[in-house]
Amino acid sequence: MEVRVENLSKNYGAVQALRDVSLSFVDGGLTAILGPSGCGKTTLLRCIAGFLEPTAGAIYFGNENVVGLPPQARGTAMVFQNYALWPHMSIFDNVAYGLRLQRLPKDEIRKRVIDALNMVEMMVAPDILERKPTALSGGQQQRVALARALVVRPKVLLLDEPLSNLDAKVRQRLRVELRRLQRRVGITTIYVTHDQEEALSMADQVVVMDCGEVRQVGTPEEIYRKPTTAFVAEFLGVTNVLAGTLMADGKTVLAAGTQIPLPEDVPASSDHFTIVFKADSAYILQDQPVPEDAVTFAGELVEVFFVGSTYRHYVKVGKEMLLVDSPFRVSGPQVKVVVPRAELQIYPGAPLGHDAEPTCSVG
């Protein structure tokens, strides 16, 4: 089922939770909606499920605009962060609920429930059907919740931070299984998460949202390697963000005492620029010659932390503190931070600032 939203807006009084969102979701694939809390991602999901009525815009399932249809008539199935299994019903009754609503014959219900539980690898014990959900671990409960959603063969599968309540180990494993399962059933899936690693590793398409707006849509690789806005770049990974000002020649930006020529595809449309690069794309040199196609910041090595997979270097350049990840420890104090030009992103406009108040106030 192809799912599209067009010019979708949702207001709560004066607060705009969604602002003119237009998206198309991968048919049969997994689209992750990624963003900080309050970015509107859950609002978008609930509009698609029908729990919220958008203020304006359209939601298409295939060629049908489903805005105005009650949630019961939309044929979506949702998996919730808190599992939302019914504690007074057995596992069987939980999974069978949707099928009983469709008044299917008993034999078929039983067969499909068992199939679904097999699919999520929950037919682990002979008495599993009779057990109550509270007797299961969090990971097992979420598997059952997934079976309950899949058993009705929904047109669209909606997942609202389904792994957020689980501990890291279970989360890692379920991530892989969920991805495999989704590929197998081929149901158009919309996955809301605030965890960028989860979004990047699972999705065919990632939508980054902020302040009720879509900031970027792309494959995980595109989002990670070529963020098109400063927000996306900052939100993904350990990132350095510098404020730059346009120099008098209109072709060079001055940031942290270093002149950076503006790339040709970035117009000199603003006096202020945001310069972004990832901690692992830069490296540190001492006296060695600097390669040509790179930008250099001269600074003072303040601190080095071993963070497991890498050494994280803190280099003070003017007033700014830069982070550089390197597989080996470099000693200071005077060092050069070198960033290949291709790894440096420049956006017009001043940076948002790490500790700045969010510019939007979305519930």
Site residues (vs other proteins, CB under 8 A)? 49, 51, 71-72, 76-78, 80-82, 84-88, 97-98, 101-102, 145, 148, 152
Q: CB of 268: closest distance to other proteins in angstroms?
A: 50
Q: CB of 162: closest distance to other proteins in angstroms?
A: 12
Q: CB of 160: closest distance to other proteins in angstroms?
A: 9
Half-sphere exposure of 25 (CA within 13 A, CB side): 30
Q: CB of 179: closest distance to other proteins in angstroms?
A: 22
When the beta carbons of 102 and 269 are compared against other proteins, the nearer one is 102
Q: CA-to-CA distance for 111 and 186, rounded, in angstroms?
A: 21
Q: CA-to-CA distance for 320 and 255, rounded, in angstroms?
A: 10
Q: CA-to-CA distance for 260 and 35, rounded, in angstroms?
A: 30
C-alpha distance from residue 203 to each of 30, 197, 220 (Å): 5, 10, 7
| Ramachandran angles phi, psi of 139, nearest 5° | -65, -40
DSSP helix/strand/coil, 308: coil
When the beta carbons of 61 and 273 are compared against other proteins, the nearer one is 61
When the beta carbons of 48 and 122 are compared against other proteins, the nearer one is 48
Q: CB of 166: closest distance to other proteins in angstroms?
A: 16
Each as own residue / partner, the long-range contacts of residues 307-310 (CB below 8 Å, 24 or more positions apart, any chain) are 310/280
When the beta carbons of 109 and 284 are compared against other proteins, the nearer one is 109
Token pair for 70: 């009650």
CA nearest to 353, candidates 267, 239, 197: 239
CA nearest to 83, candidates 139, 35, 151, 157: 139
Q: CB of 149: closest distance to other proteins in angstroms?
A: 8
| Ramachandran angles phi, psi of 359, nearest 5° | -75, -15
When the beta carbons of 97 and 283 are compared against other proteins, the nearer one is 97
When the beta carbons of 94 and 205 are compared against other proteins, the nearer one is 94
